[in-house]
Amino acid sequence: MGLRRFIVGFVGTTAALLAFGFVLFANTVMREPEVQDVRADGIVVLTGGQTRISEAARLLEDNRGQRLLISGVNQKIGRPSLLKISGLDEKTFNCCVDLGYAALNTIGNADETRRWAEALGYDRLIVVTASYHMPRSLAELAREMPNIELVPHPVAPDVLRRKVWWLDSTAARLLASEYLKFLPAAVRLAVARGMTPWQATSITASSGTPRKS
């Protein structure tokens, strides 16, 4: 009986903690950040929605960074298509936009971004991705680049622009799925920090209000 009670109690406590963590996660990614005019060495956008790219391009046009990396580009998509999606003029695109085709997932995005930032000697990056994807992206990027300052700039997809997410099954499923993906990323970051001398990657407040995706 004692062992059974322990198991039941452990499972119940774990479930409660996971549920509480999910609510915190959902409320965090749904929160509108303070609007800031932040500058960085470079801008990186993690692919997954056209509006992410156009928003990152807007930041580049606003001189918020020197160069833009589009990480995780599909091998079938060429520069002309990305030029059109970005909305940039051809001169700016050819001058200041780098395309990363190697990344197949968020871990790959982090590795691709690290290589790009190291090659250019960048110490501060604006990170553009969907609001729900931002926590996992920051965890993977911080693990790969502990000495680089990361400035999140979330883009809010239409499904998450509805404030009462728990009454929307599509939004709730999306958030739950991303939360389950975020947990192992957070563990990997914690393990990496525990195994190496402490290097506090600075993740600043968001650089702007979430844009539509």
- How distant is the alpha carbon of residue 131 from its chain centre? 7
Q: What is the pLDDT of residue 3?
A: 66
* Residues 135 and 26: beta-carbon distance below 8 Å: no
**Rounded CA separation 46/129 (Å):** 5
Among the listed residues 166, 169, 125, 154, the one whose alpha carbon sits nearest the alpha carbon of residue 213: 154
List residues bridging with 192 in a β-sheet: none
- How distant is the alpha carbon of residue 50 from its chain centre? 15
Tokens read off for 121: 């000697």
CATH of the domain at 105: 3.40.50.620
- Work out how many domains the chain is built from and give that number: 1
**Rounded CA separation 8/31 (Å):** 35
Among the listed residues 120, 101, 102, the one whose alpha carbon sits nearest the alpha carbon of residue 43: 120
Q: What is the pTM of this model?
A: 0.84
Domain of 80, in residue numbers: 2-212
pLDDT in tens, the chain (213 residues): 566 765 666 666 777 777 777 778 787 877 766 667 789 999 999 987 778 999 999 999 999 999 999 999 998 888 999 999 999 999 999 999 999 999 999 999 999 999 999 999 999 999 999 999 999 999 999 999 999 999 999 988 766 666 677 777 888 888 999 999 999 999 999 888 776 554 555 666 665 545 554
* Residues 144 and 170: beta-carbon distance below 8 Å: no
Q: What is the pLDDT of residue 198?
A: 47
* C-alpha distance from residue 77 to each of 9, 30, 97, 130 (Å): 52, 31, 15, 20
* Residues 99 and 79: beta-carbon distance below 8 Å: yes
* Residues 118 and 93: beta-carbon distance below 8 Å: no
Q: What is the pLDDT of residue 25?
A: 78
Among the listed residues 18, 15, 30, the one whose alpha carbon sits nearest the alpha carbon of residue 174: 30
Give the model confidence (pLDDT) of 74-109 as tens digits.
988 889 999 999 999 999 999 999 999 999 999 999
